[in-house]
Amino acid sequence: MNPVHADYFAGGAGEERTLRANLAAFDRLRIVPRVLRATGDRDLRTTLFGAELATPILVAPTAFHLLAHPGGEAATAQGAGAAGTVLVVSMAATQPVERIAEAGGPLWFQLYPQPDLAFTAALIGRAERAGCRALVVTVDSPVFGRRERDRRHGFTDLPAGLACENMRDDTGRVRSIEMDATLGWDRIGWLRGVTGLPIVLKGVLHPADARLAVEHGVDALIVSNHGGRQLDGAVATIDALPAVVAAVGGRVPVLVDGGIRRGTDVLIALARGADAVLLGRPVLDALAAGGADGVRDELRRLTADLDHAMALAGAKRPAELSPDLVVAG
């Protein structure tokens, strides 16, 4: 990869404290395994919104895959589909959602709600027609995070020939993605009025917001700090997860991303109450190294690592992973 583009993917906001905290938080947690649990024939299948997945590991929405590999987001979708899981297509994808859908595999669509409601509704309609099965609404970005690495490199625009293709309107013009600091809970009701897709709120860290989300009819939550790319100093997601899970009380699924690198990390997240996890940077690295096959192999590797960890921890299926299996080390 071009080193500037590699830094774009790897970097975080500010001093990158939250980026580091997402990883360090897992290092502070320890697994307390159970024994004699007859864990043969483990089953990692996970059901979300009525669809069965081969693994509780999904691919998080990330932008600009054509910077990592010529196959772009379509290659990522192909690899995720081969691994039996979902790709959440970024609104800032460098290929249109229709092209990504042609590659196969289940898709969800990530949205930054735009001030232009007509354009937002039209974009949601495109995602629906392409076959996306859920709408992931990112709510942690009223303004754009300060990415110091990008500022040092002067990386402000995509190279010539690339664009955020989902932002292309019906005139052929590519619009800029606008962060909207006026966004409030009323927009969730508006979204419910324009789509029948399940609405997943991404970027929830505070339990009070989790309760409000359920009250406003959201169908699932993603505990996320944007991979440390928005508010530097925000809490690590694995630390925020238990309080959000408690606030939701099982009323909707709770997913989590941030800092997940090994099967033991996935196990800890599931034991702390997550229904599934999402993987970001490792998938981009795998895409850069091996295209669709690289993505498939990375997801299969992590799933096999989780399977192995579950056998050693004494769990046959994800639902058997309980909070008492994890303690602070």
Q: What is the residue-level pLDDT of the chain in tens, covering all 329 positions?
A: 999 999 999 999 999 999 999 999 999 999 999 999 999 999 999 999 999 999 999 999 999 999 999 999 999 999 999 999 999 999 999 999 999 999 989 999 999 999 999 999 999 999 999 999 999 999 999 999 999 999 999 998 999 999 999 999 999 999 999 999 999 999 999 999 999 999 999 999 999 999 999 999 999 999 999 999 999 999 999 999 999 999 999 999 999 999 999 999 999 999 999 999 999 999 999 999 999 999 999 999 999 999 999 999 999 999 999 999 999 98
Q: Which of 59, 21, 30 is nearest to 255 (CA)?
A: 59
308 classed as catalytic: no
What is the CB-side half-sphere exposure of residue 327 using CA atoms within 13 A? 4
CB atoms within 10 A of CB 272: 23
Which class is 3-328 in CATH? alpha beta
pLDDT value for 104: 86
pLDDT value for 329: 86
Tokens of 243: 């309080």
- Among the listed residues 5, 69, 226, 308, the single catalytic one is 226
Q: State pTM to two decimals.
A: 0.97
C-alpha 94/C-alpha 166 separation (Å) is 8
Q: At 204, give phi and psi (nearest 5°).
A: -90, 130
Which sign does the torsion angle of CA 67, 106, 271, 203 carry? positive
Q: What angle do CA 295, 291, 275 make, to 5 degrees?
A: 20
Tokens of 70: 């010529």
Coil, helix or strand for 75?
Answer: helix
For 117-224, strand residue ranges (E) read 135-138, 199-204, 220-223
pLDDT value for 96: 98
CB atoms within 10 A of CB 213: 26
C-alpha 178/C-alpha 92 separation (Å) is 11
